[in-house]
Amino acid sequence: MASLITCPHCGTRPKEEFSIRGAAAPRRPSAGDRDEVWYAYVYVRDNPKGLTQEYWHHAAGCRRFLVVERDTLTHEVFGVTDAAALTRKEAAE
């Protein structure tokens, strides 16, 4: 596991300050979607080997949700982005 995470708000911090909150790739279905779509969103997850994006919560710092891009095999971290900023950027595109 990566031992240091660079939070965009707090700087470089030990990983113990963060909690992993799950994969960032699944997109929330709309309220009217079928039960099968909601089931897949809530319960079905891949277990990727390699590059992945995850939500991390900086629980002992700024308490912001971040999107951490890391390799699940080597635990190397490639990038950390504020989740709200990333969502706003995707919505604008």
7 binds Zn ion (CB under 5 A): yes
Distance CA 83, CA 64 (A): 8
Q: Which stretch binds Zn ion (CB under 5 A): 9-17, 31-39, 48-56, 84-92?
A: 9-17
Of 53-72, binders to Zn ion (CB under 5 A) are: 58, 61-62
x/- track of binding to Zn ion for residues 20-59 (CB under 5 A): --------------------------------------x-
Q: Judged by CB, which is closer to Zn ion: 58, or 70?
A: 58
Instruction: Answer left, alpha or beta for residue 50, where phi above 0 means left and psi between -120 and 50 means alpha.
Output: left
Residue 89 amino acid letter: K
Q: Pairing state of beta strands 51-57 and 65-71? A: antiparallel
Instruction: Give the binding site for Zn ion (CB under 5 A).
Output: 7, 9-10, 58, 61-62
